[in-house]
Chains A and B, each alone.
Chain A
Amino acid sequence: MRRSYLISALLLVGLASGQPGATYITPELQRLIQAGGQNYANVLLKQAPDQALCSIHRNRLPPEVLGPFIEEQRRLIKYPEGGRLMGDWKRGEAIYNTLARGNCFSCHAGSPLNIGGNVGPSLEKYGQRGTSEAVQRYTYEVIYNPWAYFPCTVMYRFGHGGLLKPEEIADVVAYLLDPSSDFNTKPALRR
């Protein structure tokens, strides 16, 4: 039974060579989700094809899906107007350290203001990487759309998901990279 679900889902995906039109939600699953109430169903049934791929492959994409997936995720990245990838680190500090905004500290160690989690890698003294264009761009893009680098990771796609505006992401980049940012001048808070 489970196998037949998987095969039919894979067929739908396979036909489209791993990208558009992937579906995970079968008619039975759709009925189940609808029984959870209107608000719940509204969000879950809007599952996007890339979310469907991560669901189908249980967050580990096979090699033949990986390439087109990453390409598509890279295409989704948008940049701030004017192209400045490093904004104001003070504003970035507030975003990074606020649960209802960036919530970065919950998963990453390194903030001098909050004890960090260890779901993501430690970002302690992230600014040691310097502020070259390449480092700024990588940092910005990972925050805007982590799936372009780490497909199906748990980290929110802040830009793509509409959780942060491009300018706000640039502020977080500054918080991480600016040599004068508290993130780089003050010690990280520890458990």
Chain B
Amino acid sequence: MGRFLGLLVALVLGLGALGVLAQEEDDPVKEAEKQKQQLLEQSGGILPSDLYVQQGEELFKAKRGPKQASLEACDFGRGPGRLEGVVGRLPRYFFDTRRVEDLDSRIRTCMIRLQGFRPEEIRRSEVVAIAFYIASLSNEKTMYVRPLLPQEKQLYELGERLFYLRAGPRDMGCASCHVTYVGRRAGVLPYSDLLGDKRVASHWPAFRYSNDQAWTMADRIRACYANLGMPAPDFYSEPIIALTLFMNAQARGARMDLPGFIR
């Protein structure tokens, strides 16, 4: 099965690469839509993100880890096993861990608690695939992240402060580009309007057709730091969760496009 999936991925991605060479639209949303249609036509209706979703579903339902348990009892905020729309309310506070968790860190929590994995045994690629599966069950649902509990409000405020923080040899800060230079380009894509455009934070996790990557919001945040020569915050760490909470709350009311399909 794994090999078949790999071949299928390679095939679809190869076709995708051909598509990328075609004439580009100026509007990145329109361009992504065009690429998506081309890929769908070439592959007979399968997107690379569908393969991640399928892989994630298999991982989610399989009995794995030292405890030989599936993740089906994992509570993403609506109760054990209830997955529809949960991405629209993450990050949120969980009483069992006494932490605000995002999609990635909640998956990790359940892999540790339900399946008995040690933290260092958790493979990033598996978390991403499972995130794609759960995201697929929130597609077209509404983003309604709203910090309500004190822990959520506090982390939201810290996320906002971190968003405006500038540091490092390049004076890096999220807001310097994503507020001040919205719509301008440094490279291929214009800077997205994180505060004004609700679509921006409501399409993660997403498949990036230009370089065949499956990314969650954590990967996106880490790449932003890395692009400016900054060390990125660790996966599953609080700075990532705080920034995600701040950004997702800006997207409140958006109809989620999941998994996203972007350049």
Contact = CB atoms under 8 A, between A and B. Distances in A.
The 3 lowest CB-CB distance pairs between A and B, nearest first, are A36-B233, A39-B231, A36-B239
A43 B167 contact: yes
Interface string A1-41: 11001000000000000000000111011001101110110
Interface of B: 153-155, 157-158, 160-162, 164-171, 173, 175-177, 179-181, 184-187, 191, 225, 230-234, 237-240, 242
B186 A44 contact: no
A24 to B, nearest CB: 6
Contact of B184 (A35, A117, A161): A117
Interface in A18-73: 24-26, 28-29, 32-33, 35-37, 39-40, 42-44, 46-48, 51, 54-55, 58-59
A156 interface: yes
Contacts of A44: 165, 167-168
A35 to B, nearest CB: 4
A118 B185 contact: yes
6 contacts: A29-B162, A32-B158, A35-B238, A36-B238, A55-B165, A107-B186
Contacts of B237: 35-37, 40
Interface in A124-149: 147
Contacts of B177: 119, 154
A83 interface: no
Contacts of A59: 164, 166, 175-176, 179-180
A5 B161 contact: yes
Contacts of A39: 231
Contacts of B239: 32-33, 35-36, 40
A163 interface: yes
B184 A37 contact: no
B217 to A, nearest CB: 15
Contacts of A42: 231
A26 B160 CA distance: 13
Given A25-B165, A59-B175, A117-B187, 18 more contacts: A5-B157, A32-B158, A35-B233, A35-B238, A36-B233, A36-B234, A37-B233, A37-B237, A40-B225, A40-B231, A43-B168, A43-B231, A47-B165, A59-B180, A119-B184, A119-B186, A161-B170, A162-B169
A154 B233 contact: no
Contacts of A40: 225, 230-234, 237, 239
Contact of A117 (B186, B232, B233): B186
A106 B185 CA distance: 8
| Max chain A Cβ within 10 angstroms of own Cβ: one of B164, B166, B191, B225 | B166
A25 B160 CA distance: 12
A20 B179 CA distance: 26
A69 B232 CA distance: 29
A37 B165 contact: no
